[in-house]
Amino acid sequence: MKNTIIKSALAVLLLFSSVACQDELERLYQDPDGFSKEQANNSGVSIIAGYFTSQLTRGFFLRGEYGASYHQMRSGSRIMGTGTQIYYTMNALGVSYQLYDVEHDWGTNGFNNTVFNKINNDWIKQVLWGQVEYNNIPEAERTNLDNLFMKLLHVLKAYGYQRAIDMYDVVPYIETGSAGALTDDKAQYIGQDEIYPKLIEELKEASEFIANLELSDSEQSAFGNQDVIFNGDLAQWEKYINSLRLRFAMTVSEVMPDLTQTVLSELNGKPLFSEYDDVAGLADIAIVEPHRLQVELGITRAFRERIDECRAPKKFIEDVMHCMPVEKSVEMNGETLYYFEGDNSASGLLDGTVDPRVAYIFSKDVLGRYIGNDVKWDFGTDPNSYMNKSLRAYYINDPILTDISIVTFQYGDEDDEVITLNEEAKNDLTKREAFLLNSLRNIVGRYEDIRSVGTDDNLVSEFNVRPQFNFDLRYPTLHAVETELSLAEAAVRGFGTVNGSAREHYKKAIELSCKYWYELNNSNQYSRSTVPSFPSNSEDTRIQADKPEMEYDASVYAENEAQRFDALNDQEKVQAIFNQLQLHYNFLNWETPYTSARRLIKYLGTNPASPYEVFQWKERMTYPGSVQGSDPEAWAQISGHNNPDLPVWFTGRTEKWKNVLE
């Protein structure tokens, strides 16, 4: 994966060999106003081709971006429960059991406004500038490459609009072929019901165009030099376009089932994303200077700064991946106390009863267990709550509970963490269990056990640092696993069967996901001493220990999971499909599971995600407040949609989903 991305980056640099430095290259690509036709011609490439490559390298478009990823981790997890912020599941930092609003916290602007601002600026400028140049070329003089680059700019435009309308519904839309405000053609605010059919049809046209296109050797070389995503592979573009079309068709399935069925029928036999390395995305390192990545621009900075988000959810580890805690009990102070001694991963990973991804995506706690945390509120009154059973294992067999002379308890990878008993517990053995439990609850609730990403005193399992800090990661804006899961759902719900049964697609999705996450983890060659590097305060032992001991047989586990799938009813199958989607993308693509969760509430009758009890469910993003002042006419059209409690059109609902506190 690394070599492919670096090769792509070098191709771009070679193409602009007349440009003296990286800063100039970035200026040409990132500033359309400064990217002139003369400069393009002098560099030996058409200006439309330049805008195409510029579009591919947009921030948070086909790659990650620090700021957007930070807010999606912070606020997105509070909606979906992708990663567990323990202090919102128990009273550790003064948090109380009440309803909290992600809409008006300090991250609102960064969370709500990002996609809207991007589609109306960064994600559309290159398309419009390219359209100006294309429209100025007489039709008879347009080359194969002119047509190809413009067609692919329209594909990328469709992808950008999909993300925007999924979040907001009504957005300012510019028709394909128009150059928008560059030629005095103002964008019109329209919604998903109008835009989605347009996008689906345009993608069909683009797929047919690619399928029938033949390039000469020189044209192919020129295209390959510009294409930093698929290295000039037209077959990959056709697979990507068809897979995008499938995504769009499934998104509208609640409100336009006939259109969904039509698209599924048309996709039958067509090439789609189907391999573990079929991914539409670009690695940060392909276009950003390595020494700037970790500290400034890369998505890894979001992981580093939002480490409290990165606790492993019980839903993923236990409910989806079948890594089960081993429970034992003791009699103490007149009551039965339970604790999780370990888990079944040692045998389960080998015999295919535990998902291999538990060893690729997550890391063990200090005791060597894969045990996460629930998003349900722990009131602290149940001595055998899930959290208490997890934490009790640290001390329940320690001499401190039976030897009055021992007044300190040590835990951690090197036994370097020390808890000293208070005076009451020092003098009374019956007070010690409660004191130690409360002490560990406070430590984990305040995330004092992790301090930074990659430290090795974590009291509960958390996301593995190796996949997150693989700087060669191609950000998966669309992956083959999603395509297989979409085909599985389509078959279950009767929209159409494409290239196999629901069972076959479900099983293959799991196999592909296992391979993807294994390779992402195992291929990581970075450390604290490389450039870019892991954070300097990460533990070397953790970095090495988080590498899986081996690649486990995904086919055996996938077959076992397929057999479970066979026994489910249709709604349970759709829930299982969603669980696989959320697990696969997790922090790397929060938007797609969020869209699926909102869409599926109507069909399932409940929310398939795992929201915190204390956070208000959010049905859509709200618009930047600046629109009201800058464009009152537009604001009059969209103000009625500026409500986070109003379901978007594709959900088929008018009433919001409410959690237990709403």
Residues 263, 246: contact at Cβ < 8 Å? Answer: yes
The rounded percent of the chain whose pLDDT value lies above 90 is 82
Q: Which of 52-56, 174-178, 330-334, 414-418 has the lowest mean pLDDT?
A: 414-418
HEC readout, 596-629 = HHHHHHHHHCCCCCCCCCCECCCCCCCCCCHHHH
Please give the pLDDT value at position 25: 36
What is residue 363's predicted lDDT score, i.e. its pLDDT?
A: 95
Please state, in angstroms and rounded to a whole number, the distance separating the CA atoms of residues 282 and 230: 9
Phi, psi of 507 (to 5 degrees): -65, -45
Least confident of 96-110, 298-312, 548-562, 570-584: 96-110
Note whether residue 51 is domain-resident.
Answer: no
List pLDDT tens digits, range 509-534.
999 999 999 999 999 999 999 999 99
- In the block, tokens 């391979």 appear at 515
35 belongs to a structural domain: yes
**Span of 24-28, 268-272, 329-333, 631-635 with lowest mean pLDDT:** 24-28
pLDDT surpassing 70 at residue 81: yes
b/e per residue 412-433 (b: at least 16 CB within 10 A): beeeebebebeeebbeeeebbb
pLDDT at 405: 98
Contact (Cβ atoms closer than 8 angstroms) between residue 455 and residue 537:
yes
So what's the pLDDT on residue 132? 95
State the distance between the two ends of the chain, measured CA to CA, in whole angstroms: 45
pLDDT reported for residue 6: 30
Contact between residue 549 and residue 358 where contact means Cβ atoms under 8 Å apart: no
Instruction: Specify whether the CB–CB gap between 476 and 386 falls below 8 A.
Output: no
Strand spans (E) along 50-202: 171-173, 188-190
Rounded to an integer, the average pLDDT of 38-60 is: 80
Q: Which of 98-107, 186-195, 489-498 has the lowest mean pLDDT?
A: 98-107
What was the pLDDT predicted at 19? 32
Q: Pick from 61, 164, 73: which is nearest to 111 by CA?
A: 73
Domain-located, residue 532: no
Distance CA 269, CA 246 (A): 13
Contact 627, 116 (CB under 8 A): no
Q: How confident is the model at residue 53, as a pLDDT?
A: 93
Q: What is the mean pLDDT of residues 460-481?
A: 96
Q: Tokens representing 153?
A: 């700019």
Residue-wise pLDDT for 155-208, tens only, equals 999 999 999 999 999 999 999 999 999 999 989 999 999 999 999 999 999 999
Q: How far apart are CA 186 and CA 178, in angstroms?
A: 9
Q: Note whether residue 13 is domain-resident.
A: yes
pLDDT recorded at residue 20: 35
pLDDT higher for 288 or 106? 288
Q: Name the 3-class secondary structure at 479.
A: strand
Rounded average pLDDT over 594-619: 96
In a domain, 23, yes or no: yes
What is the domain count for the chain? 1
pLDDT of residue 104: 82
Q: The domain containing residue 35 runs over which residues?
A: 1-44
With respect to residue 142, please indicate whether it lies within any of the assigned structural domains. no
Beta-bridged to residue 374, according to DSSP, are none
Tell me the C-alpha distance between 254 and 269, whole Å: 24
Q: Average per-residue pLDDT in the chain?
A: 91
pLDDT value at residue 401: 97
In a domain, 37, yes or no: yes
613 burial level (CB within 10 Å; 0-12, 13-18, 19+): middle
pLDDT score recorded for residue 372: 93
Q: How far apart are CA 96 and CA 435, in angstroms?
A: 21
Provide the residue count of the chain: 662
Retrieve residue 415's tokens. Answer: 């036994």
Would you say 659 and 613 are in contact if contact means Cβ atoms under 8 Å apart? Answer: yes
Q: Is the pLDDT of residue 36 over 50?
A: no
**Does residue 96 register a pLDDT over 70?**
yes
- Report the pLDDT value the prediction gives residue 298, as an integer from 0 to 100: 87
pLDDT digits (tens, 9 = 90+) for 204-239: 999 999 999 999 999 999 999 999 999 999 999 999
Per-residue b or e along 385-409, where b marks 16 or more CB atoms closer than 10 Å to that residue's CB: bbbbbbbbbbbbeeebbeeeeebeb
Give the contacts of 135 (CB within 8 A, at least 6 positions apart).
177, 179, 183
Is the alpha carbon torsion for 340, 342, 343, 347 positive or negative? negative
pLDDT (tens digit per residue) in 110-165: 888 999 999 999 999 999 999 999 999 999 999 999 999 999 999 999 999 999 99
The residue-averaged pLDDT of 491-495 equals 98
Tell me if 463 is assigned to some domain: no
